[in-house]
Structure 1
Amino acid sequence: MRFAVSYSPAYHGMDPQTLVGYARDAEEAGFEAIYLPEHIALYPGAAIGEMPIPPALESPDPLDTLAFVAAATSRILLGTGVLLLPYHHPVVLAKRLATIDVLSRGRMRLLTVGIGTLPGEARATGVDFATRGRRADEAIDVLRLLWGGGEEGVSHHGEFFDFAELTCYPKPYGVRHLPIHIGGSSRAAARRAGSRGDGWFPGGLIAPDERRAQLDLARAEAAEAGRDPAALEYTRWASVDVTPERVEALAAEGVTQLVVGATAEDPAGRRKQLNALAARFSLAA
């Protein structure tokens, strides 16, 4: 089992020293990666289900923030949980992601994308909320097309994006394509993970039977697309106090990575929580 940490600007704040200290503490403890969330734009009345989202919630750009983290660390991988893909133009995004990957020497490797749940966010970016799933599917294809293309350029004529003979440099560091994981708690997200994703990162509020059904669906979609279902990474959220017994049970379900967030109010307390988990699972060994 691999372990990563999440950093919540809404909870931990946006003080640069706090952010860098958290990332360095996680790196030193042996965690593999750090994840940042995204909201493009918020507004009064925004809510996920019945949970309201404060309009003044700290929501920095995750890629800019991860680039800042990369400059202050040396090993920890960079992840998004999740980047709202329909609200980014893939031609611009391909360049941004590859640039971070090159400058970090290959650490932009846990990109997780989702389609968003806030209609107002879609309106703010000029995206039809009803088509955001199809738009995300096409954007994934465009990202890989641009990363894999050579000096002769590549062309794409789709429902949402259209271009001819484009080149996109720099390329990701030492690989043809950056991994793209799919986030989301719906069956549509599970299908997308199987048909297009390198991994699946569902949310936490799913009933066990439904979670198993979605994982089976993701693997079936992968097989139908001619992809190896066993190669699909499976990431889950966990408590920073997660026990060895719980980790063993998750591994038996096929989980390959757990993402935890330190919950203490002060940096020293968060460092203690991360170090305790690291010691419990010998992460620095």
Structure 2
Amino acid sequence: MKFAVSYSTAHFEFDPDRLAAYARHAEACGFEGLYLPEHLVLYPGATLHNFEVPPDLPFADPLETLAFVAAVTDRLLLGTGVLLLPYRHPVVLAKQLATIDNLSKGRMRLLSVGLGTLAAEAAATGVDFRTRGRRTDEAIDVLRLLWAGGADGVSYHGEFFEFDDLVQFPKPFGATTLPIHIGGSSAAAARRAGLRGDGYFAGGALLPDERAAQWELVRSTAAEAGRDPDRLEYTRWSGLDMTEERLAAFAAQGVTRVVVSATATDPAEQQDELSEFAQRFLSGGS
């Protein structure tokens, strides 16, 4: 089982020194990586996860922030949970992600993408909210095509993106692609993970039988598409109060990675929370 942490500048103080300390401590504790969320815009009355949120929450850009995290750490993998893919142009995004992966020497490897639930974000970026699923599918294909393409160029002709003979370097660090995990809590997200994803980052508040059905949908969709379902990773959220029994249940369900987040507001207490978790489930705390 792999263990990672998340950090949200919207929930904790937007302070680079505090973020750096959190990331360094997570790395010292032995966590695999750090995830950041994304929201481009908010507005009065916006609702996330069934809760109305203050519109002035400071959601930092996750890619810019992950480049900063890479600079202040040595080993920590960089992740998004989730990047709102339909609102980013894949040609630009492919360049950004490959650049971060090179600057971090191959650590931009926990990319998770999703569709987003706020129609205002789609409108603000000129995207038809109803088409964001199809747009995401094309964007994933374009990302992989550009990363794998050679000096002779690659072409793409889809519903949303179209180009001929494009050449884009640098490539991901020592690779021809980056892993792309699909985040979400719907049947459509599960099918997308099976068809196009390297893994599934399950979200939402679902019952255990619904969770099991979704993961089975991921695997069956992959198998029907001729892909090996055993190669797909399965990431789940958990609280810091996770027990050995809970961990065993996750393993039995096929989970390969657990993501936790500190809940305290005081930086020292946050580090203590991560240390205590690491002492129970990793090789040791710091």
Q: TM-score, normalised by structure 1?
A: 0.98
Q: Which whole-Å CA distance do the structure 1 matches of 2:87 and 2:183 have between them?
A: 15
SS in 2 for 1:200: strand
Q: Which whole-Å CA distance do the structure 2 matches of 1:283 and 1:94 have between them?
A: 35
| Alignment-derived partner of residue 72 in structure 1 | 72
Matches within 5 A, 1:1-285: 1-48=1-48, 50-284=50-284
Q: Which whole-Å CA distance do the structure 1 matches of 2:145 and 2:200 have between them?
A: 21
- 1:29–1:284 Cα contact (<8 Å) kept: yes
- 1:195–1:222 Cα contact (<8 Å) kept: yes
| AA at the equivalent of 1:62 | P
How much has 1:49 moved relative to structure 2?
5.6
How much has 1:284 moved relative to structure 2?
4.5
SS in 1 for 2:259: strand
Of 243-252 and 145-154, the range deviating more from structure 2:
243-252
Q: Which whole-Å CA distance do the structure 2 matches of 1:222 and 1:60 have between them?
A: 34
Give the gaps of 5 or more residues in structure 2: none
Runs of 4+ in 1 over 6 A off after TM superposition: none
Q: Which whole-Å CA distance do the structure 1 matches of 2:88 and 2:219 have between them?
A: 27
Q: 1:270 to 1:50 in 2, by over 3 A?
A: closer
- 2:184–2:204 Cα contact (<8 Å) kept: no
- 2:183–2:201 Cα contact (<8 Å) kept: yes
How much has 1:240 moved relative to structure 2?
1.2
1:12-33: per-residue Cα shift (whole Å, max 9, x none)? 1210100000000000000000
Q: Which whole-Å CA distance do the structure 2 matches of 1:178 and 1:69 have between them?
A: 18
SS in 2 for 1:12: coil
- 1:204–1:236 Cα contact (<8 Å) kept: no
Q: Which whole-Å CA distance do the structure 2 matches of 1:236 and 1:39 have between them?
A: 20
Q: 1:220 to 1:128 in 2, by over 3 A?
A: same
The alignment yields a C-alpha RMSD, in angstroms, of 1.0
- How many positions carry a matched residue from both structures? 285
| AA at the equivalent of 2:162 | D
Of 204-213 and 156-165, the range deviating more from structure 2:
204-213
1:63-84: per-residue Cα shift (whole Å, max 9, x none)? 0000000000000000000000
Give the gaps of 5 or more residues in structure 1: none
Of 10-19 and 192-201, the range deviating more from structure 2:
10-19
SS in 2 for 1:81: strand
Q: Which whole-Å CA distance do the structure 2 matches of 1:244 and 1:111 have between them?
A: 28
1:92-111: per-residue Cα shift (whole Å, max 9, x none)? 00000000000000000000
Fraction of identical pairs, as percent: 66
Q: Which whole-Å CA distance do the structure 1 matches of 2:261 and 2:20 have between them?
A: 15
How much has 1:264 moved relative to structure 2?
1.4
Q: TM-score, normalised by structure 2?
A: 0.98
How much has 1:280 moved relative to structure 2?
0.5
- 2:10–2:60 Cα contact (<8 Å) kept: no
- 2:234–2:255 Cα contact (<8 Å) kept: yes
How much has 1:255 moved relative to structure 2?
0.3
